[in-house]
Structure 1
């Protein structure tokens, strides 16, 4: 796989999308502009920072390159002024969260492969990249993170990361593989919400 241009743009896209989802949660909870900025930055940057620290890529790219922080803050500003427009969409937080999930699963797995990880650890880091920001966002507003509920969430990220690994093994172009991974994760997540699919719970719980 070629290195950073693809991962960079995927990271920025995921940062912006997750930043919007975090800011929308802040608006719905009645937080002020500072709270909106905090949730936007947390949702947009936490997953990638966790990935970079586990890879030993320090300082994390989100702290080294100011474009990441500016992108997450820009998402917060967009929501601050345009949340009424976004609320007209059907389940905007879920849709944006699903898109960010797919983008970060792909970028996390791609970067892990670039750093020389084997396929299974690369998929794991792809999932961690995808769910990290959403988990931190949910914890900040005292919600159980989606990844710990019975919703199909981490599994959707795993599908996207697995597509990246499969595409690399087959020698497919990075761009097409990345697009397929994002679409696959997004589709699994959205369809699971639409069809109310649930992960199994412990018997009798």
Structure 2
């Protein structure tokens, strides 16, 4: 498998990304007034959903979430932290968003390379890399009975940075240029694009000459 960090560093970064994604899920659960079980479920789903989907699609079973205890326990620790300290966590939301962007960049690259390593084509690998990065957030919103942020026009770009990162990876694979430096550059590019989208509120365009009478929410 293409890896741009050593296995131990990669594992640590995976856990950091999982932890931050889990915090975003747990915070939404608190805002929805879920009980402690609901908070834990939303944290787990947000953190692990994208990776589970990827592993099941490519046949990497049992998924890493069920073979590495750290992957399963880390979201529970995040849920516990939010359960007791959610007012303080809310106050550092900007910092959480920065780490979330880092996780997005890391997971879109790792997901793409793992999918390709298991025999998928370039386009399919990029699509699965995107799913790895954003899948947990989609499941989180669905379970919380919200329109997924991925589909809302009034949210800053999220999927697009992941798409750019995944595309950079498959282009490098196509031309046999996927080095540790190129992989890291793809992850950093997705990370920076997400930060810029949050800073300048970049959003995807809606339908051309839109004349809809549907009430905007």
Over the residues paired in the alignment, what is the CA RMSD in angstroms? Answer: 2.4
Equivalent residue, structure 2, for 1:160: 165
Assess if the C-alpha contact under 8 Å between 2:169 and 2:178 holds in 1: no
- Displacement after TM superposition at 1:178 (Å): 4.1
**Is residue 2:122 matched to residue 1:119?**
yes
Residues in 2 aligned to 1:79 and 1:131: alpha-carbon distance in whole angstroms: 21
Matches within 5 A, 1:58-97: 58-91=61-94, 94-97=97-100
- Displacement after TM superposition at 1:86 (Å): 2.3
- Could you give the per-residue CA deviations for residues 50-79 of structure 1, whole angstroms, max 9, x where no partner exists? 001110112222123322111111221222
Residue 83 of structure 2 aligns to a residue whose secondary structure is helix
- Displacement after TM superposition at 1:140 (Å): 1.6
- Displacement after TM superposition at 1:167 (Å): 4.7
Equivalent residue, structure 1, for 2:194: 189
Instruction: List gaps (5 residues or longer) in structure 2.
Output: 213-217
Distance 1:161 1:13, change over 3 A: farther
TM-score by length of 1: 0.85
- Could you give the per-residue CA deviations for residues 21-76 of structure 1, whole angstroms, max 9, x where no partner exists? 11122223232221211111010111001001110112222123322111111221
Assess if the C-alpha contact under 8 Å between 1:7 and 1:107 holds in 2: no
Assess if the C-alpha contact under 8 Å between 2:52 and 2:63 holds in 1: yes
TM-score by length of 2: 0.81
* Count of matched residue pairs: 203
Q: Which moved more, 1:1-10 or 1:131-140?
A: 1-10
Equivalent residue, structure 2, for 1:204: 211
